[in-house]
Homo-oligomer: A and B are copies of this chain.
């Protein structure tokens, strides 16, 4: 069951496609055709990977920007300022880092997709992508987890605009983590399959 779907593309390449053609082409032509379709399929998959990775980075950028803005504007007087609590400062710091990282990556990807120019070697880029995504994902889940218990405890006592904004910022950090975790999967796949060559 599992091996069959892995081997499926190879099987398809071995058997010539049955199409309603007037005359049967020679064998060499058939091989060329299926080889070309394999390459086309690979190009399509890589294109999908690129666009998917760009979309995920865009989502992560949106969420971390929201987290950054919500947390930075979360000052409501004595005892209700985010900067009196180290957890919230941590969330803000990681949100800023993540905004910068995902913004830079998204800009670079848009630039590459539109011009086709690369500033670094593609292998180094793939490495940078993967480790960057993975490390940012760990940092984001870490900051969201660090800020959650105190917010929980505060919200047990009183529900006000300060605790609500904090919860919103933490949720945004968590969504940014989810996007970057999936993006790390994509770039890990790209790195391991050498599709950067």
Q: Chain A residues in contact with chain B, CB under 8 A?
A: 1-3, 6, 86-87, 121-124, 134, 137-138, 141-146, 148-150, 152, 181, 188-189, 191-194, 197
Contact = CB atoms under 8 A, between A and B. Distances in A.
Nearest to A191: B192
A181 B138 contact: yes
How many copies the complex holds: the figure is: 2
A197 B6 CA distance: 9
Nearest to A194: B6
B86 A1 contact: no
A194 B150 CA distance: 44
Nearest to A126: B2
A188 B197 contact: no
A6 B123 contact: yes
B3 A87 contact: no
B149 A87 contact: yes
Contact of A121 (B1, B143, B149): B1
